[in-house]
Amino acid sequence: MDNPRPDLKAMLPDELDDFVGELGQPTYRTRQILDWLYVKGVRDVGEMTNLSKALRDMLAQKTRITALRQVDCQESATGEAVKFLFELPTGQRIESVLIIDGDRRTVCLSSQVGCPLDCKFCATGRMGLIANLEAGQIVDQFLQVSLFARARGERVTNVVMMGMGEPLLNYDEVVRALRLMRLEEGLGLGGRKITVSTAGYLPGIRKLIAEDLNVGLAISLNATTDETREQLMPINRKYKIADLLLAAREFFDRRGYRVTFEYVLMAGLTDADEDARRLAGLIRDVPCKINLIPYNEFEDDERFRRPSRRRLEQFYRVLGELGVEFTVRESRGRDIDAACGQLYYRQEKIRR
């Protein structure tokens, strides 16, 4: 669906300056429009009451404002996660998750409908790539979840690009969305409050390192040998573990903060003592953080199982004895399929 009218919600301030300038308007209009869009959350220029009627009419004619249709909102029994299901104008659906952890409110955003990378253990991977999201659609997920939080008297504090999709394969739209979320006059999320997570698409990592944009980076390592990683993540045929370790070092040198390596623990595949030892060896000289994620099971795929409590404890112990610091992500929202790697919407139903 090609829409020739530019999306007001996806315009950066300098673009908005130019745009309102061309309409013969002063640039302070930019600030007013940003405030309406991102702080007040209006979906219709008609509601931007401090703009002149003439400007509102022109904007209505020449632009559109992306607003995803929220079709479902499910809260986990424990209150630790809320999953949102949104529908695009094409009828395709995407999911976002609000994760509640102490004072932290993290939104997990989708960057694509489905994903082309085919990681064998990931639910989204089963969908294949269906579409890239537009910047306005990424920002709008954030905006709608923020408004939900605000209505409960809470504020979103962090963003992770860890929902459906590989963000670095939808680079331009994702980076534009990140810039929009950082705007002080809008959503105002500081640099390190945003983390981009990648399966290891090296050209995208390189580009992000060079970008004039402060965001955190997480790389899904998930295995300690290229052989195993290749079986789990076909992208490893092209970009190897050694490449990712180098990229992490480069990220630290250029940006000044450490990459997080995510490591999913899968029974019999990635959870052996030997893996823990190899992991410690791999990252010995790389300034990084380690985030361990016990696998979240979905459907009845026998190949991928969560390790037993004992196995997990043992893995943690081996790492600890080798002096490796790590965090464990016990995913929230498993009961509503909102946990890490569980986002999957059966598109067949809608495509029909």
CB atoms within 10 A of CB 131: 15
Binder among 121, 239, 251, 261 for ligand SAH (CB under 6 A): 121
Q: How many CB atoms lie within 10 A of CB 119?
A: 21
Measured from each CB, the residue nearest to ligand SAH is 341
If you ran DSSP here, which 8-state letter would residue 43 be given?
S
Catalytic residue among 108, 122, 288, 340, which?
Answer: 340
List 162, 223, 244, 290, residue binding ligand SAH (CB under 6 A): 162
- Residues 165-184: x where in contact with ligand SAH by CB under 6 A, - otherwise, as a string: -x------------------
* 68/233 with CB nearer ligand SAH: 233
Q: Count CA atoms within 13 Å of residue 215 on its CB side.
A: 30
Smallest distance from the beta carbon of 162 to ligand SAH, in angstroms?
Answer: 4
According to CB under 6 A, which residues from 29 to 48 bind ligand SAH? none
Q: What is the DSSP string of 78-111?
A: TSSEEEEEEE-TTS-EEEEEEEEETTEEEEE---
In the complex, the smallest distance separating the C-beta of residue 116 from ligand SAH, rounded to whole angstroms, is 10
Q: How far is the CB of 274 from ligand SAH (least distance, A)?
A: 20
Interface characters, 130-149, with ligand SAH (x: CB under 6 A):
--------------------
Per-residue binding string, ligand SAH, 191-220, x by CB under 6 A, is: ------xxx--------------------x
Q: Can residue 95 be called a binding residue for ligand SAH (CB under 6 A)?
A: no
Q: Which is nearer to ligand SAH, 58 or 199 (CB)?
A: 199
Q: How far is the CB of 296 from ligand SAH (least distance, A)?
A: 4
Choose, from 80, 95, 134, 173, the residue flagged as catalytic: 95
Contact present, 127 and 298 (Cβ < 8 Å): no
Q: What Å distances lie between residue 131 and 85, 303, 307, CA to CA?
A: 16, 28, 33
Residue 340 annotated in active site: yes
Q: How far apart are CA 39 and CA 51, in angstroms?
A: 16
How many residues touch ligand SAH under the rule CB under 6 A: the total is 17
296 counts as binding ligand SAH under rule CB under 6 A: yes
Q: Write down the least CB distance from residue 125 to ligand SAH, Å.
A: 8
Q: 331 in helix, strand or coil?
A: coil
Non-local CB neighbours of 168 within 8 Å, separated by 6+ positions:
174, 196, 198, 201, 203, 204, 205, 207, 208
| Alpha helices, H only, the chain | 13-22, 28-34, 53-62, 135-151, 171-182, 202-210, 226-232, 241-255, 273-283, 309-321, 348-351
100, 157 in Cβ contact below 8 A? no
Determine if 264 is a binding residue for ligand SAH (CB under 6 A). yes
User: Which of 75, 139, 146 is closest to 111 using CA atoms?
Assistant: 139
User: What are the residues binding ligand SAH (CB under 6 A)?
Assistant: 121-122, 162, 166, 197-199, 220, 222, 262, 264, 293, 295-296, 340-342
> Could you give the residue numbers annotated as active site?
95, 340
